[in-house]
Amino acid sequence: MTPEQTALLALVAVALVQAIKVLWMGLGGQPKPPAVVLQAIVFVISVALAFFWTPVGQLPVPAADPVAYALALLAAAGVVFLAAGGIYVVLLEALLKGLDGALFGRKVLAP
């Protein structure tokens, strides 16, 4: 990851923590979301970021050779999901620390 991507990932993590605290815990009055919900949110965001940050290359024309097109799609998906794995780990760790109040060393919004 480049330094710009790391900085953007930190901003996304902070914005996500604050959005969950305000919308889910503050306005909704619910306790901290379950781990499955947090993992699903982080998975979607990490795949989207990896898709935009990873160069996939030129895909062949589907009508010319469907098998080559399918293989190229699988290869591109493999590259995107490989990059998403690293983003997922960093983002989930920051999200869990932020919701527990340890991201800044203090509680930002107490539930």
- At 25 the three-state DSSP class reads helix
Is 77 part of a structural domain of the chain?
A: yes
| pLDDT tens over the chain, length 111 residues | 788 888 888 899 889 988 888 887 777 777 778 889 889 999 999 999 999 998 877 888 888 888 989 999 999 999 999 999 999 998 998 888 888 765 445 554 544
- The pTM of this model reads 0.77
Q: Locate 69 and state its tokens.
A: 């097109």
The residue range of the domain holding 22 is: 3-99
- Would 40 be classed as within a structural domain? yes
How far is Cα 2 from Cα 53, in angstroms, rounded to an integer? 10
Q: What is the dihedral of CA 108, 15, 12, 40, to 10 degrees?
A: 90
Q: Is residue 53 part of a domain?
A: yes
Nearest to 17 by CA among 107, 104, 95, 110: 95
The number of distinct structural domains making up the chain is: 1
Residue 109 lies in a domain: no
CB 91 within 8 Å of CB 6: no
